[in-house]
Structure 1
């Protein structure tokens, strides 16, 4: 079943005849057009049409899997008006701007209906082709990390480590998926501690979270590494997080709820008296966006299915001391799971 086939079922369930898609990742998922920020897709029972402007004439012809209409607003809306006249047309309430909605109302004789998550729900399960693209992005990131790891040592700035990772990704043909996190020493207590000019010192832990974006698809991985010999307390925290991470990964399989995986990891950290130091959810889906469904957070009812790609990333953060996060990228398979991130996890 194609993404469009699955979407039409979701549209029927939502009670809409057509859908105006404006979120860039969803535009790409439905059409194949890689500049989704400058495109829209109209999905109707008869088919789908990509709307973009003349800057992308050649690119859209090469990439798009659906018919392309080259025009700028308001011509875009006028062309689509005939296709949606008298229909209930859904729009992406979490992305379409107020100005964009007003433009649709001005040009369309249609009932406009806010929708949430229709395309995203179809995108939860990746196609084999999407899995391969994510696999390639993660393999590239693993290679880059292996090149940079020997340079993570005392006397080096966090920014220097981040720069090496970013340059490595770009030299390998990828984009930097998100702001690189390099958090050393006490800054390790910041879950989103993007690289600073702090100099790494001997005996510290350094948390590194980065990912590649390759052909539009993301990878995501975190490793916490030791510089010199960390204190007994830091080693205790590290090993507790490692235990929680490996147990949660081993529990990944179809039919498991995201909230149950979170609870499993959280209970292990509770036993190590680190439950309150686990300040975020266990993980999230990865694909065309770095953060997408399913959610592996406390109470999540999202059920894992084969073809989903998720992160498993417990952490513990101690203000004034430091922190640890360990994250793997995991594919849900028919029989359980496959870890896509191959970088070894250090044993302290």
Structure 2
């Protein structure tokens, strides 16, 4: 197990909020409105319930102190949040209208970036109180807000990747043949926790024809000798994500199965090698897709090549055609091409990488060859 990293400080969160407010100003926004979820967690370290109808909202505006509108019954929790000292609290009681508390913190005619997971109920409440305001999804106006990681964040992602590698090394030693997919998935989840994950987000075990479904939910199918098995698993460790895919085989693969794996492996290797500052996200996708298409499987590569990762396992930037965002050092994302043959089998190989000053560094070092399991 890795040693727990030093916690982020109030100054770390204060600096993030200042940068976010400045980014809002640079984008021509009056400010940002952040509901409970990954953005609030990253900006403040505060993790309130996201499934409550009571309004909790972080209001960031250029040149203004960060304000957190919070239900009075939860205000005490903010004091224990690492970013709490950087916040001014505006608490409200159940008999009050929370939009009356929020409205004075906003510009009556302002345009705001609002976090994607904000309840429609709350957005409509704000519009009703301030009809002159307008709103845009944070993923549209500031998609790169969390994309570039600092050294402390990179360290957490590296540790999560190493833990996922360790889980993979152990899972290849367990028995696959004769067991249900869900049993192997449970083993994977237990291994991720054993090696330090606090949260397991997914454990895809796609055996035989189920491997042709990229997001297959591990089920009751019993794994058989001769199956190709796609393993895709990850979660959060020290607040940051892991995500790794490897494809294994129960017994020796056929020549076709090995060839498909070789094609995907070469596409993945070449796409990682292409990563460097200044290229567009879509260029990473193009490198992988060109190889798979050249080998005759282009129509069977049915998803983007990668997604960003940080405090969530899926976030911007995305390695997909049409995404012209340029890569800069500190961006972190998956590179995960795949080939899926319906009714037969699938293959995917995935690593998490970060952009460096002159190329890329991978956070996964688990063997990428098709492992033979029993």
- TM-score, shorter chain, exceeding 0.5: yes
Indicate conservation of the 8 Å contact 1:140/1:212, yes or no. no
Alignment partners' CA distance in 1, 2:21 and 2:189: 39
Look up the match of 2:146.
123
Deviations 1:254-289 (A, max 9, x none): 111111111111111122111111111110111122
Correspondence 1:247-258 to 2 at 5 A? 247-258=270-281
Mapped pair 1:112 → 2:133: yes
Specify the SS of the correspondent of 1:230. coil
Indicate conservation of the 8 Å contact 2:192/2:200, yes or no. no
Specify the SS of the correspondent of 1:343. coil
Look up the match of 2:230.
207
Specify the SS of the correspondent of 2:144. helix
Specify the SS of the correspondent of 2:173. helix
Look up the match of 2:22.
9
Mapped pair 1:92 → 2:114: yes
Alignment partners' CA distance in 1, 2:208 and 2:154: 35
Cα displacement (A) at 1:299 = 2.7
Look up the match of 2:213.
190
Cα displacement (A) at 1:87 = 5.2
Specify the SS of the correspondent of 2:347. strand
Alignment counterpart, residue 284 of structure 1, candidates 288, 292, 307:
307
RMSD (Å) for aligned C-alpha atoms = 2.3
Deviations 1:67-89 (A, max 9, x none): 15243564543333332254515
Cα displacement (A) at 1:151 = 1.0
Report the count of equivalent residues. Answer: 347
Deviations 1:120-157 (A, max 9, x none): 42211112222222222222222222222211421121
Look up the match of 2:87.
67
Mapped pair 1:77 → 2:99: yes
CA spacing shift, 1:345–1:294, aligned 2, 3 Å: same
Alignment partners' CA distance in 2, 1:342 and 1:71: 50
Look up the match of 1:30.
43
Look up the match of 2:57.
40
CA spacing shift, 1:332–1:103, aligned 2, 3 Å: same
Deviations 1:49-72 (A, max 9, x none): 233335544542122422152435
Specify the SS of the correspondent of 1:320. coil
Look up the match of 2:257.
234
Moved more, 227-236 or 151-160: 151-160
More helix by share: 1
Mapped pair 1:265 → 2:288: yes
Specify the SS of the correspondent of 2:123. helix
Instruction: List runs of 5+ in structure 2 lacking aligned partners.
Output: 1-11
Deviations 1:213-251 (A, max 9, x none): 123321111010121101111011011100110111111
Q: Structure 1-normalised TM-score?
A: 0.91
Alignment partners' CA distance in 2, 1:50 and 1:316: 46
